[in-house]
Amino acid sequence: MNKRDFLKLAAAAPLAASPVRLYAAASSTSARLLLVFLRGGYDASNVLVPVGSSFYYESRPNIAVPRPGSAAKAALPLDGDWGLHPALGASLLPLYQQGQLAFVPFAGTRDLSRSHFQTQDTIELGQAHDGRRNYQSGFLNRLAATLAGQSRAISFTDRVPVAFRGELQVPNMALKQVRKPAVDPVQTAVIAEMYRDTPYARAIDEGISVRDGVMQNMAAEMEAASRNAITARGFELEARRIARLMRDRYNVGFVDVGGWDTHVGQGGAEGFLANRLEQLGSGIAAYAAEMGAQWNDTVVIVLSEFGRTFRENGSRGTDHGHGTVYWIAGGSVRGGRTAGEQIQLRQSTLHQNRDYPVLTEYRALCGGLFARVYGFGAPQLERVFPGTSPVDLGLV
């Protein structure tokens, strides 16, 4: 049985029949989950590069990432089929080699709208695809609610994303820029009192508590900055801040990163997308480092609403596609591999002769992952992803 067949079998096996490790159930309180949403539909085929496919190189005459060893900047070999974008060589390759990062190619949704917004909503809501949507119930909120008293959820964004909408009041605080509050404690108390009997009371209390917590947490960084120490920038800085909060105060987190909608001039081994990837990769690596010992209890999911067209378009970019590649990282992740069902890439295996097909539905994927991480049984999984049969890819 070759690797492909085994994975296919694993993918097809219903969860009940596969051995869920007890580690998961025991660690449900210490487990930490961070969802990184790449908004815009990142070009998965130029990140996890199908280096074994000549069809890929025919389809992308100007923007393909060269085969390993064929150019100064070329894909980094992962196995015979796949390579990694060289911009991720310093950040993600070590994680992959240490077995702490897995890729799930041909993952995604059943949503065929090719609309950023509809598909992002589809993912964040995590509801049955053909049912009527309830826009007030995101899957991360349902996850946090299912963890009941054990969850401390937060969104590191300036607005609460759809994924966190729902019965649980989830706080948010963007960490790109953090400032010291000017509203003093007396004023804070008076303002909070104005809201006591309003529907916003919980939001206000949460906001104040998060603000104060973040300020405590930032004290060390601010001190370093005031001593003119070299500090991280951009997403790496943000990721380090997120890591410190996830380490000390929260266990379900969300952050989004934009700028992936590369219709024009996206570049290949170098260029626009390469620069975005370098920043993203260094952020993920910094997150792993900053988590310290807690990295072993951490799972990071990196996803995007859809992949892009397999062929480059007329402007050396790519258009909205379908299937994509999910990344799963963490100290206990069984990584160093690609997981889930795969196919040979040929014109006939493309979805609608233009995109990656979706062979691993994301709710089944995440459901299977949550079952392992949190020891969920069928009732809990049904609550998070109603109507879905989880697929266990043995990712932790």
Partner 1 sequence: MRTLATVLVLVLAGCQLPVVSPRVDSPRAETPEARLHLLNRVTWGANGSSARRIEAVGTRAFLDEQLRPAPKPPLPPAVQAQIDALTISQKPFTDLVREVEQQRRDAVAIKDPEERKAAQKAYQQELTRLGREAATRSILRALYSPAQLQEKMTWFWMNHFNVFQFKSYVRATVGDYEENAIRPHALGRFRALLGATARHPAMLRYLDNVQNAANRVNENYARELMELHTLGVSGGYTQRDVQELARILTGVGVNLIGEPRKIAAARERLYVRDGVFEFIPGRHDFGDKVFLGRTIKGAGLRETEQALDMLARHPATARHVSRKLAVYFVADDPLSALVERMAATFRSSDGDIAAVLRTMFGSPEFAASAGRKFKDPVHYVMSAVRLAYDERAILNAQPVIGWLNRMGQGLYTRQTPDGFSLTRDDWVSPGQMTTRFEIARAIGSGSAGLFRTAGPEPLEAPAFPQLSNALYFQAIQKTLGPATLKALDQARSPQEWNTYLLSSPEFMNR
Write out the residues near partner 1 by the rule CB under 8 A.
39-40, 112-118, 136, 155, 157-160, 165, 169, 171-174, 177, 179, 181-183, 187-188, 190-191, 193-200, 203-204, 206-208, 210-211, 258-259, 261, 263-264, 313-315, 317, 319-320, 352
Q: Which is nearer to partner 1, 29 or 216 (CB)?
A: 216
Smallest gap from residue 212 Cβ to partner 1 (A): 10
Q: Which is nearer to partner 1, 28 or 113 (CB)?
A: 113
Smallest gap from residue 302 Cβ to partner 1 (A): 19
Q: Which is nearer to partner 1, 72 or 186 (CB)?
A: 186
Distance CA 381, CA 143 (A): 9
Smallest gap from residue 48 Cβ to partner 1 (A): 24
Smallest gap from residue 43 Cβ to partner 1 (A): 14
Q: Where are the alpha helices (DSSP H) in 99-198?
A: 116-125, 139-146, 185-194
Smallest gap from residue 88 Cβ to partner 1 (A): 23
Q: Which is nearer to partner 1, 19 or 314 (CB)?
A: 314
Are 36 and 303 within 8 A, CB to CB? yes
Interior CA angle at 39 toward 280 and 33, to 5°? 65
Q: Which is nearer to partner 1, 155 or 324 (CB)?
A: 155
Q: How far is CA 113 from CA 133, 157, 369, in A?
A: 15, 26, 26
Handedness of CA 308, 312, 316, 320 (dihedral sign): negative
Q: Which residues contact 129 (CB under 8 A, 6 or more apart)?
A: 109, 110, 111, 122
Which two structure tokens, joined as six digits, stand for 350? 């493309």
Q: Which is nearer to partner 1, 188 or 294 (CB)?
A: 188
Distance CA 320, CA 225 (A): 41
Smallest gap from residue 259 Cβ to partner 1 (A): 7
Q: Which residues contact 171 (CB under 8 A, 6 or more apart)?
A: 154, 155, 203, 206, 207, 209, 210
DSSP code string of 97-115: HTT-EEEEEEEE-S--S--
Smallest gap from residue 119 Cβ to partner 1 (A): 10
Q: Which is nearer to partner 1, 180 or 227 (CB)?
A: 180
